[in-house]
């Protein structure tokens, strides 16, 4: 829960040390949580899917398509320097999982 609170804090940097400083906790503990946690993401995703508003989820996914071209414009590249096809393939897979669409 502490890590999630850190992600929701104001501030540009979301690395462990600045988050830990704002939260008043040890940064090594946060780092260990992120790198060593073994909880099953499927259970978390299923619980979120039951609570999610499908229309809002779809709107967020559609608006995320602007992410790729905006990064190219603002900083000249994308994370991992993905090409457009790789980005769109990854986005489509993520969208399908998020919306719980059946595999084709």
Closest CA to 26 of 48, 6, 55: 6
* pTM for the model: 0.37
5-55 pLDDT, tens digit each:
777 777 666 678 888 888 888 888 888 877 887 777 778 777 777 777 777
Contacts of 91 (CB under 8 A, 6+ apart): 61, 64, 65, 68
């Amino acid at each position: 829960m502490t890590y999630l609170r850190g992600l929701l804090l104001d501030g540009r940097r979301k690395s462990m040390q600045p988050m830990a400083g704002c939260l008043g906790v040890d940064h090594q503990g946060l780092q260990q949580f992120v790198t060593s946690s073994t909880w099953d993401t499927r259970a978390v995703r299923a619980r979120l899917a039951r609570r999610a508003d499908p229309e809002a989820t779809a709107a967020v996914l559609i608006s995320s398509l602007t992410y790729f071209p905006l990064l190219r414009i603002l900083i000249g590249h994308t994370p991992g320097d993905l090409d457009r096809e790789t980005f769109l393939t990854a986005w489509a897979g993520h969208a399908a999982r998020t919306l719980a669409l059946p595999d084709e």
